[in-house]
Amino acid sequence: MKKNGTDFDAAVIGGGLGGLAAGALLARRGYKVFLAERNETVGGNASVVRRGGYSFERALHQVYGLGSPGTPSAALLKEIGVDRKVEFIKLPAFMEVVFPGLRFTFPADSGELEAALCRRFPAERAAIIRMLDQGRSLYQMDRLMKFGSWKDRLKDCANPAAELRHALNSAAMMRYFRSPFSDYCREHFRDPELTAILGGPWIYLGVPPSRASAMMMVAMMGAYTVEKTFYIRGGSSSLSEALADSITARGGTVRTCAPVRQILAGAGGAKGIMLEDGTRVDARCVVSNAPARLTFNGLLAPGSVPAPYLERLRSMTTSVSALHLLIGAELDLGRLDKPPVYATSCYAGLDHDENYRLTLKGGAGSFGLCFHSLADPSQAPRGCSSLAAITMAPWRGRAYWKKNRAAQADRLLGLAEGVLPGLRRKVREMEIFDPAAIEARTGVDSGAIYGWENNIGQTLFDRLPQAAPVRGLFLSGQWTCPGSGMTMAIQSGGTAARLAAEYMGPPEKKR
């Protein structure tokens, strides 16, 4: 056994955005941090692949809130000290949804979205305004959870009446927390095209509107249009590396190619980690950004975790995986007669349940395109473009994907060519990430891209809390509240760090 030379306050397992945010915030508050990452680079899926002058995103489409001063996520980055080290490029649209004979662009502004929907569907005006107002209120509730009580907000705010309206709207929406968005739409809207458009963002959750929480869907629209949406200049690696640098700049250690074998825990709780190479890292607490089942069933010794908690983990369902086709093309998207919207999602029809079913069968039910170089031209050589084609995909096993990945990638490229005619001839670089590759990168069984499936009963408050049932162990990442997505992963890391700091007490003097 090799003993690490210095003890640490916190040992962080996993260098995804949740673990990086937790480690960076603890380091900023004076704690000594050791972060272990299994891959050769930090970031997990928040990282890029560089080939032939192109930069390809492994997963990022866009983030909300990180570039808007005063939002909870931006405030966390400011406290860590990386807000000025990363540039966020504001996007004019949240997404475009495309159906046969129908398309709609979601502006990345709540007022503009309201106006666009009301122009398109004037007979539904009252219901549209009510839903978007509820989304804004849920966004305010999210801020409240992070920044204080309603009493504090009312005492300091300039418009108490508006705050009370947000409180009442949020309370009214709570009854839809465990109701599907499809039921919400049937209750409030009549036009099937409007219902299909509003249901389009389900692709960011990985489950159709009949299985997604109505409150979650409405809150998501509120977050993306109130906090605005952004791409990260230089790619998501810029943010991941800035967070890692923030840890090392404050005396911490970030070790890559360092898979963790065990969480060291006993009667007194978690006291450090053991790496696969035998290095022991003693710490006052542990933050795990690793997959939940790996944390509790693989890294902790049998008998360490209460049986009811393990039963809860067994009962939860992991999400679908994905097939990502990363494309470098000799094609200048900005010079097209009608440049595409940065994030575009295409559907076979208005019935999202059928779209979902077709997608998981390997059909053309739904797929997305993300044009990263439209936002940041540095992601591709001059006159060229970097883009990603994405579709959800079931696991089916490593052997299946080894045999079929090329054929499935070709099928997805054909779908992308339906949006960009002639694309196949212009491809100069291409990288395929199938579910097996995602599993290998993240360590997540079956390559689940959202952690737990975002179905009713497994979203927001129904995900795991950051405080684990083992003393001194805290959780971050998409397995925890508030859920999947890069902004939420960062928020979860901030919450884990605050709980860990409270557990440890003030930082000890430098040893």
Considering the domain architecture, whether residues 327 and 342 belong to the same structural domain is answered as: yes
Are residues 281 and 217 located together in one domain of the fold?
no
Residue 101 lies in a domain: no
Residues 206 and 249 in one domain: no
Query: Which residues, 6+ apart, have CB-to-CB distance to 327 below 8 Å?
Result: 386, 387, 388, 389, 413, 416, 423, 427, 429, 430
Does 280 fall in a domain?
yes
In whole angstroms, give the CA distance from residue 73 to residue 367: 29
Number of separate domains in the chain: 3
- Sign, CA dihedral 495-496-499-500, equals negative
- Residues 198 and 239 placed together within one structural domain of the fold: no
Tokens of 389: 């084609």
Preceding peptide of 209 cis, ω within 30°: no
Q: How far is CA 172 from CA 128, 134, 167, 168, 169, in A?
A: 16, 9, 9, 6, 5
Q: How far is Cα 177 from Cα 425, in angstroms, rounded to an integer? A: 47
What tokens does 233 get?
Answer: 């200049």
- C-alpha closest to that of 283 among 511, 55, 53, 37: 511
Residues 115 and 180 in one domain: yes
- Nearest to residue 497, comparing CAs of 163, 119, 34, 29? 29
Parent domain of 335: 320-442
In a domain, 146, yes or no: yes
Residue 403 confidence (pLDDT): 97
Q: Are residues 306 and 345 part of one domain?
A: no
> Among all chains, which residue has been given the structure tokens 């950051």?
466
Beta partners for 96?
A: 105, 344
* Nearest by Cα to 203 from 323, 366, 59: 366
Which of 405, 416, 401, 414 shows the shortest CA–CA distance to 371? Answer: 416
pLDDT given at position 32: 98
Paired sense of beta strands 260-266 and 253-255, if any? unpaired
Same domain, 355 and 294: no
Last residue of a domain, one of 174, 196, 227: 227
Q: How far apart are CA 152 and CA 163, in angstroms?
A: 11
User: Which of 227, 258, 280 is the last residue before a domain boundary?
Assistant: 227
- Domain CATH for 479: 3.50.50.60
In order along its 511 residues, the chain shows pLDDT tens digits of 455 545 899 999 999 999 999 999 999 999 999 999 999 999 999 999 999 999 999 998 999 999 999 888 999 999 999 999 999 999 999 999 999 999 999 999 999 999 999 999 999 999 999 999 888 887 665 544 443 444 544 454 555 566 556 566 667 777 888 999 999 999 999 999 999 999 999 999 999 999 999 999 998 998 899 889 999 999 999 999 999 999 999 999 999 999 999 999 998 999 999 999 999 999 999 999 999 999 999 999 999 999 999 999 999 999 999 999 999 999 999 889 889 999 999 999 999 999 999 999 999 999 999 999 999 999 999 999 999 999 999 999 999 999 999 999 999 999 999 999 999 999 999 999 999 999 999 989 899 999 999 999 999 889 999 999 999 999 999 999 999 999 999 999 999 999 999 999 999 765 4
Q: Give yes or no: residues 310 and 324 share one domain.
A: no
Closest CA to 62 of 428, 363, 486, 510: 486
Q: What is the reported pLDDT for 148? A: 42
Radius of gyration over every alpha carbon of the chain, rounded to an integer in angstroms: 22
Q: Which amino acid is at 481?
A: C
Whether residue 57 lies inside any domain: the answer is no
How far is residue 35's CA from residue 251's CA, in Å, rounded to a whole number?
Answer: 12
Say yes or no: 69 and 155 in one domain: no
Same domain, 353 and 376: yes
The predicted pLDDT at position 510 comes to 55
Q: Which residues 6+ apart lie within 8 Å of 509 measured at CB? A: none
Q: Identify whether 487 is part of a domain.
A: yes
Spatial distance between the Cα atoms of 261 and 106, rounded to a whole number of angstroms? 45
Amino acid at 392: M
Same domain, 120 and 216: yes
Residue 300 lies in a domain: yes
Asked, for residue 95, whether it belongs to a domain, the answer is no
Residue 120 has which token pair?
Answer: 């398109």
CA angle 380/385/391 to nearest 5° reads 115
Note whether 135 and 184 are same-domain residues.
yes
User: What is the distance between the alpha carbons of residues 268 and 274, in angstroms, rounded to a whole number?
Assistant: 17
pLDDT, residue 146, reads 45
Q: Fill in the DSSP letter of residue 402.
A: H
Return the DSSP state at 295: I
- DSSP bridge partners of 180: 213
Any domain includes 56:
no
Q: Which of 23, 33, 17 is nearest to 283 (CA)?
A: 33
The side-by-side arrangement of strands in the sheet containing 88-90 is 63-64, 229-232, 88-90
Domain C-terminal end among 171, 206, 227: 227
366-370 and 385-393: which strand pairing? antiparallel
